[in-house]
Amino acid sequence: MEKRGKMKVLVLGGDGYCGWATALHLSHEGFDVGIVDSFHRRLWDYELGAKTLTPIKTLPERLKVWKEITGKSIDLFIGDITNWNFISSVVNDYKPEAIVHFAEQRSAPYSMIDREHAVFTQVNNVVGTLNVLYAIRDYVPECHLIKLGTMGEYGTPNIDIEEGFIEINHKGRKDILPFPMQPSSIYHLSKLHDSNNIQFAGRVWGIRTTDLHQGIVYGTITPEIEKDLRLINRLDYDDVFGTVLNRFCVQAALGHTLTVYGKGGQTRAMLDIRDTVQCIRLAILNPIEKGHYRVLNQFTESFSINEIAEKVKMAGDKLNINVKIEHLANPRVEKENHYYNPTNTKLIDLGLQPHYLSDSLLDSLLNIAIRYKDKADQSVIMPKVNWRKTYNTRINKLPC
């Protein structure tokens, strides 16, 4: 049943790409919102020498602008959720009714740079999530955790992908069990470890959790961000944090060839940032029973890398940009041609009204890439992280 009324929601990682858009959306919708952030994401920009294309302001400046134009305040807690004393005190003091958890290292290439980055990714993601689970258990046991997972946990099995669970018939007996997972990077493995830990927390401690297995998110604009350009979100296009659609749009804006890894048959689930924030709100307003663990596959469409490249090329044609496509040797270890048919009905049933890529590509991505193309650094676009070997010669050694 949908929960109504003003609620206190804590957004972990609220300075990041998905977290920032979500915090503004929830504040606009009347929730009391608090943001927790350690600013690691901004530190990684300096470490990698690759800044977001869009000119984002500091988080205190962003929050000041939001209050100025809406009259709504968002609370800010600066710290690292891998620090138990910090996150336990925040949860105990703030007493959230829901926690939205984005506070993780979210890049597969970053996790595959070398041993150091692989270990950091696992420790940061798994320990941080464990701390959040213990804080909920000890201080707010009725709180609903909405945890961002990834469609990448599933891998690319040769069967339809269900939403978290699958009915198994084996030797005359039947059960509903977690869907078999085949993650393709250290990052995706960390998300699978999170999923196992939060399932355990539900069975043993009665914590209620929604695990959102999210596809690739695109877009910088939401209705809240449209209110003032000073609220603009990130647009990452580099080889480590830039998603494939962002990278292609910036390449097109620069007159650079679109670089497809391998054969380009790799198929990925995708959704607009406006649908990400919708999904979070719907999950909060429709909580599950205490002790239950729910998986929602959070995407609206799926495309092969070749199809994405062709869509960007066609969008460029409309703007009189001569976009060319080339194939590179694939730096990743992945199936380049595979079956892919994931299910995504639960969020639609909750009321999600999707935005589709064909409707939003020009205004929300390519035009923004063109507007800020003078800020782009072409040297950070081509792939430098190879799944098969360590690469660290361009990493600036900053503390993680």
Cα(167)–Cα(161) distance, integer angstroms: 12
Query: CA triplet 379, 14, 22: central angle to 5 degrees?
Result: 100
Cα(380)–Cα(383) distance, integer angstroms: 8
Q: pLDDT 10s digit of each residue in the chain, 400 long? A: 344 458 999 999 999 999 999 999 999 999 999 999 999 999 999 999 999 999 999 999 999 999 999 999 999 999 999 999 999 999 999 999 999 999 999 999 999 999 999 999 999 999 999 999 999 999 999 999 999 999 999 999 999 999 999 999 999 999 999 999 999 999 999 999 999 999 999 999 999 999 999 999 999 999 999 999 999 999 999 999 999 999 999 999 999 999 999 999 999 999 999 999 999 999 999 999 999 999 999 999 999 999 999 999 999 999 999 999 999 999 999 999 999 999 999 999 999 999 999 876 777 799 999 999 999 999 999 999 999 986 555 556 554 4
Catalytic residue among 110, 187, 218, 237: 187
Catalytic residue among 51, 191, 346, 384: 191
Return the residue matching tokens 């984005």.
102
Strands (E), the chain: 8-12, 32-37, 75-78, 98-101, 144-150, 165-170, 173-178, 208-214, 216-218, 258-261, 267-272, 293-298, 301-304, 325-328
Active site residue 139: no
Strands (E), 219-299: 258-261, 267-272, 293-298
Q: Report how far apart, in Å, the C-alpha atoms of 29 and of each of 206, 231, 274, 306, 384 are.
A: 29, 17, 14, 38, 42
Sort residue 253 into left (φ over 0), alpha (ψ -120 to 50) or beta: alpha
Phi, psi of 234 (to 5 degrees): -70, 155
CATH architecture of the region 8-235+270-299+341-354: 3-Layer(aba) Sandwich (3.40)
Active site residue 154: no
Catalytic residue among 82, 121, 150, 267: 150
Strand partners, 303: 268
Q: Provide the residue count of the chain.
A: 400
Active site residue 373: no
pLDDT given for residue 2 in this prediction = 45
